[in-house]
Structure 1
Amino acid sequence: MTKTLCRLLGALFLPALAACTQPDNSPQAAARLPGAPLDTMTDPATGQPVIRGPVLTGTAPRTPGKSSTASSIGEPASQSAEALNTATRGERAQAASAPTGGERRLGTTVASLGDPSQPGFWVRTPLVKSETAGRIVNPANGKSAKVRLIPLGGPAGGGSQVSLPALQLIGVSLTDLPTVEVFAG
């Protein structure tokens, strides 16, 4: 009797178990799957409805033979920092000359490379409210550069953007984030 009862329960249990493993083809289940079509979706930028379709994941296909690396963003890979530095020897000598006096120390700032395509000796910094002549000093080696101080929004403790020729003149690697002293006058 017990053996027969176990066989009967097993015969009833297996179909019930098989029914539990059947795929759920409901729309709610399809929406939970990655890449499944969405019922409704709007573009957050425009508020317009988006065409119903699969949710795409991964990366976009690339053009054969082209690649995008950190060295090729914004400039051809063949251009070096020296090629972008358009300052003449005379301009470099003038920028490196000793200060004439009457300077006022504005503070220190973390310097990063500004737009390398912009020529000249300049610093965009939140330490000034109007454009003025100034100087930056690298305290690590004492080298300085006369620059044009250009206002940059943000808190006074925020970082500054320095031109390529100015960074090279004060002996800073273009990938470093040194603290430099800023003077006006």
Structure 2
Amino acid sequence: MIRIPFPLTAMSAVLTLSACAQFGMGQPEDTGAPVVADPAQEAVVAASDLPEATAADVAAVKADPVLTSAPPPPKAAKTQEELDTTTAAQRSQAAAPATPEAKLLGTTVASLGSPTEPGFWLKTPLVKTESRGRVTNKANGKTSAVTLIPIEGPATGGSRLSLPAMRLIEASLTELTELNVTLGGW
């Protein structure tokens, strides 16, 4: 009896299955039912269809003070709930669907910003003036309206997202999150 090492057996199985997939073998029959799109893919496609924002566009869209007007958290705050002092009305406003006039600023990778700074905001080098915008979590398609706050650095530099916005778009607080950033859109 010839013994084939386990890694070769596994590789053989993978190659066989991928060949079957290329020829359509073993695929489910087309039932005519609508295909449900992946929300993350929809967010990517939607962002690619948006016009790019210009510097004049950014200057024309002023920040919304309602999204950044939450009170600071108490000094003893330790949990997400205690640190997130936004109101239900603010969360509802931030979660409202995007409007069609959004313009794409770009894509950024964001980490959690200071959890003691209240409100919905993104500190990013994609803008030079404080403006209204929206972030979309590319992993799940969830969005949040935010105030875009300029920081120094190249447009390809990283960004920092507020705790309430991270929670709203269901991003990990301990990992980097890839975001589409749009101007306006709410």
In structure 2, the residue matched to 1:96 is 95
Task: Give me the whole-angstrom Cα distance separating, in 2, the residues matched to 1:107 and 1:78.
Answer: 34
- Residue 77 of structure 1 and its aligned partner are, at CA, apart by 8.2
Q: SS of 2:89's equivalent?
A: helix
- Residue 78 of structure 1 and its aligned partner are, at CA, apart by 6.6
Which structure has more relative contact order (CA 8 Å, sep 6+)? It is 2
Task: Give me the whole-angstrom Cα distance separating, in 1, the residues matched to 2:138 and 2:77.
Answer: 33
- Residue 140 of structure 1 and its aligned partner are, at CA, apart by 1.0
Task: Give me the whole-angstrom Cα distance separating, in 2, the residues matched to 1:173 and 1:82.
Answer: 15
Task: Give me the whole-angstrom Cα distance separating, in 1, the residues matched to 2:77 and 2:85.
Answer: 16
In structure 2, the residue matched to 1:3 is none
Task: Give me the whole-angstrom Cα distance separating, in 1, the residues matched to 2:119 and 2:104.
Answer: 22
Kindly indicate which of the two structures has a greater share of residues assigned to helix.
Answer: 2
Q: Does 1:118 align with 2:151?
A: no
How do residues 6-85 of structure 1 correspond to structure 2 at under 5 angstroms? 79-85=78-84
Q: Which has the larger radius of gyration?
A: 1
Q: SS of 1:176's equivalent?
A: coil
Structure 1: gaps spanning 5 or more residues: 1-74
State the TM-score, normalizing by the size of structure 2: 0.57
State the TM-score, normalizing by the size of structure 1: 0.57
Give me the identity figure in percent. Answer: 53
Task: Give me the whole-angstrom Cα distance separating, in 1, the residues matched to 2:77 and 2:181.
Answer: 33
CA contact (8 A) 2:136 2:143 kept: yes
CA contact (8 A) 2:77 2:83 kept: no
Q: SS of 1:93's equivalent?
A: helix
Task: Give me the whole-angstrom Cα distance separating, in 1, the residues matched to 2:106 and 2:120.
Answer: 19
In structure 2, the residue matched to 1:171 is 170
Aligned length: 111
Q: Does 1:159 align with 2:179?
A: no
Deviation beyond 6 Å, 4+ runs, structure 1: 75-78
In structure 2, the residue matched to 1:181 is 180
